Amino acid sequence: MGSRTGLYLDYLSLADLEAAQWAGVMGVATFDGLRLAGDATVPVAEVKTPVLGESGALCEVWRTHQAVEYGVHGRVRHARTSDMLFGCISVAESEQTSLYRATEQAYREILGTVDALAYPHLVRVWNYVPEINRDTDGVERYRQFNAARQAALLEGERPITGNVSAACALGAEVGSPLVVYFLASQNAPSYVENPRQVSAYNYPPQYGARSPVFSRATVLHERDSMTLFISGTASIVGHQTIHAGDAAAQTRETLTNIEALLAEANRVTRSEDFTLESLACKVYVRDPSDLPLIQAELRAALGPAARPVYLRADICRRDLSVEIEATAMVASTGG
């Protein structure tokens, strides 16, 4: 691991981040309203979702051993290496800026940035949508977000099926802005779907007039490593929610879906490198009272050495209690 030059992911306390210094940091996401006083050039996505458990305030830190250049393009703060780009943007709603318009603006600026800087392939995108399940003007806000994201991608002449980024969309606290952060590359990743699920971009109209646009996972191939990005994954089989109202059963079903994605990622990469034990997991919990049940299921599946991060967040469907995203970074086998 120490000899790799590609991406690294760490979940650190503020004290640990400051002790580790800022060298090689491409970008940071903070949670629980934490604000950083470190290097002002580093792009920081401030996400207002409470941290659960004993972790306290946390930073999601993306770093590299390569040289990093920082900059701003419009409202997108970014950092780049010779082949990778991290960026983030925050767009507040107002009387003049609806969620639909804020989403369109955010994605237009993201696409404009990756095009201008020549990192054309979105690999992974994180979206935090305030009050994601609330209805406004008779339409759930998650569906408004999906419609605007798809419209912006079509306007930018980007695909909305097939070769699309891994992604997630979670709720954020009332009054917070739409926050989006992303990783893009000069090289196309491998795109991975789950054989147990209908691809999200092929969902039937009952889930909204415009489908979500994301792959179930992507694999980024770097010079000496591979990184697997598993999108937000939940208790969905086919296109239907399973085990509504049972957080423990939903967690087990989610882990079964993740295992299916690991098998498919290994098939695509002709490797056996991606395992449950290799994953860094970020777990979104709708109802904090379900946390002990969810933690027990994850300990049983991942082992005592795993250190999942737990956040309180609404999930894209009202009948989902838990969603898990995961990342695995392994040395490349050259397969």
In the set 93, 253, 297, 323, the catalytic residue is 323
Q: Distance (Å, rounded) from C-alpha 148 to C-alpha 151?
A: 5
Question: 280 exposed, middle or buried (CB, 10 Å; 0-12, 13-18, 19+)?
Answer: middle
Name every residue whose Cβ is closer than 8 Å to that of residue 138 and which is 6 or more positions away in sequence: none
Comparing CA positions, the residue from 45, 25, 120 lying closest to residue 87 is: 45
- Exposure letters 243-278 (e unless 16+ CB within 10 A, then b): beeebbbbbbbbbbbbebbbebbbebbebebbebee
Residue 162: CA count within 13 A, CB half-sphere: 4
**One-character DSSP codes across 263-324:** HHHHHHHT-S---GGG-EEEEEESSGGGHHHHHHHHHHHH-TT---EEEE---SSTT--EEE
Q: List beta partners, residue 326.
A: 230, 281
Q: Distance (Å, rounded) from C-alpha 219 to C-alpha 121?
A: 12
Name every residue whose Cβ is closer than 8 Å to that of residue 303 and which is 6 or more positions away in sequence: 277
Q: Is 259 a catalytic residue?
A: no
Which amino acids are annotated catalytic?
Answer: 323
